[in-house]
Amino acid sequence: MSDLAKTPGTSTEKPAPQPPAAEQSAAPVPAVDPRLLIREEGFKGYWSEFTRKVRGGELGSLPVFVGLIVIAVVFQFQNSNFLSASSVANIAVYSSGIGIMAVGIVFVLLLGEIDLSVGSVAGVGAAVWAVLNVNNGWNEWLAIIVAVLSGMALGALHGFFFAKIGVPAFVVTLAGFLGWSGLQDWMMGGEGSINTPSGSVVENLTNYFFEDKAAGYGLALVAVLAYGASLLVDSRRRKTAGLPARPTGEVVLRTAVVAILCFAVAYVLNEPVGARGLPLALVLFLAVLIVADFVARRTSFGRQVFAVGGNPEAARRAGINVDRVRITVFALSGTLGAFGGLFIASLSGGATKSVGGGNTLMLVIAAAVIGGTSLFGGRGKVWSALLGMIVIQSIQQGLNMIGMANAIQYMITGAVLLAAVVIDSVSRRTQKTAGRA
């Protein structure tokens, strides 16, 4: 037994070393979000952040805006009427129907899938309206509602076979493309076309213009105020949650840029000689975009779409009903496809066997992809439909004004589509290399 007796309650272990008094009094330094430091640096900070994102492959809508500027400069140099009131109005009107259909395709692409039936669904929607309203004397509004609902039913059917049965979306919608084209042909009968009644709702979709200048400038003002208010509300919500938020100066600058663009378009549509005013088609297209953007960014369903498109298995394990999301998205695509078909019928003067045929499918998918929606799923914005459609229609408008053949237009549009997919692929690869995927 040791000569040193252990005293009860004592320990032979050495006490832990105590830090210096200066270190004891020092409070822990809170982590600072780098985005706050960037905004405090002003223009230099924003520029460094912009260059970092570009090097990391986060291009966003930058290629689209650069492309639009190049298109405007080239065609305005070739024909001084390219940016005239009539030309801008034509771009807005002819973009509406295909653009509305492209909004539905954006949601499908966010899932990482494809819908090849949207053109034939548009044709069926136009045929249903024409047969019910013109041939059978139904109330036009009721015929329009039934036509749109028929598109929803066809889209939901595609989603059911894809989600529940497990048939690939490519195969299901390809079968729909063929089958619904035959249904459209059968519904139209031997004549092959049903003219749009004069003064009807469908005719006014693309032929009605708000001639009062207050309509154009009023819509521009509402758009600017709504955009500025959304930025302020978002900034306040982030501050309340303790997250980085845009400073007031940035909000003012962004709102000012949007105001310049909106009022410039309103001026072109209203003021020059020959201007017809604000097209109803553009108003309806913007309304669809705003509602769809709200659904995609501000609702749980929209977040579920992005989650399923990013990783379906992870979304399922997180408790998301993947099958329901998929069926709903294809139903939405069919709904907007049928609605867009009514715009195409309005432009062509009636429902025909060719509504939704030709290059319609190509243009719809190209608009979504060129606007920035990824073909690989999980990344994109609803406004891609607007940006992509403006690019496509601007190219077609410019080539028509300089007398270029349709064959050249197809080749150029195809090249632009390929360039958009290449940019998306390179961007994803760069993000993975930079560790930001």
- Evaluated on CA atoms 368, 67, 45, 58, the torsion sign reads positive
User: Is the predicted pLDDT of residue 1 greater than 80, yes or no?
Assistant: no
pLDDT tens digits, 283-329: 999 999 999 999 998 899 999 999 999 889 999 999 999 999 999 99
User: Is the predicted pLDDT of residue 354 greater than 80, yes or no?
Assistant: yes
| Distance of alpha carbon 117 from alpha carbon 156, whole angstroms | 12
| Distance of alpha carbon 103 from alpha carbon 409, whole angstroms | 23
| Distance of alpha carbon 46 from alpha carbon 27, whole angstroms | 31
351 beta partners = 194
Confidence of residue 428 (pLDDT cuts 50, 70, 90): low
User: Is the predicted pLDDT of residue 235 greater than 60, yes or no?
Assistant: yes
Kind plus residue range of the DSSP H or E element containing 278: strand 278-279
The type of residue at 287 is A
pLDDT tens digits, 155-181: 999 999 999 999 999 999 999 999 999
| Distance of alpha carbon 18 from alpha carbon 32, whole angstroms | 29
Q: Backbone phi, then psi, for 277, in 5-degree steps?
A: 105, -165
Contact present, 265 and 276 (Cβ < 8 Å): no
If we measure between CA atoms, which residue out of 114, 175, 150 comes closest to residue 336?
Answer: 150
pLDDT tens digits, 29-79: 444 445 554 555 555 666 666 666 666 555 666 778 888 888 889 899 988
User: Is the predicted pLDDT of residue 7 greater than 50, yes or no?
Assistant: no
pLDDT tens digits, 95-134: 999 999 999 999 999 999 999 999 999 999 999 999 999 9
Give me the pLDDT at residue 34, please.
53
Categorise residue 210: left if φ over 0, alpha if ψ from -120 to 50, beta otherwise: beta
| Distance of alpha carbon 140 from alpha carbon 142, whole angstroms | 5
CB atoms within 10 A of CB 368: 31
Give me the pLDDT at residue 59, please.
61
Contacts (Cβ under 8 Å, ≥6 apart) of 73: none
Q: What is the pTM of this model?
A: 0.84
| Distance of alpha carbon 90 from alpha carbon 207, whole angstroms | 11
| Structure tokens given for 194 | 């049903």
User: In this predicted structure, which of 118-122, 166-170, 246-250, 394-398 has the lowest mean pLDDT?
Assistant: 246-250
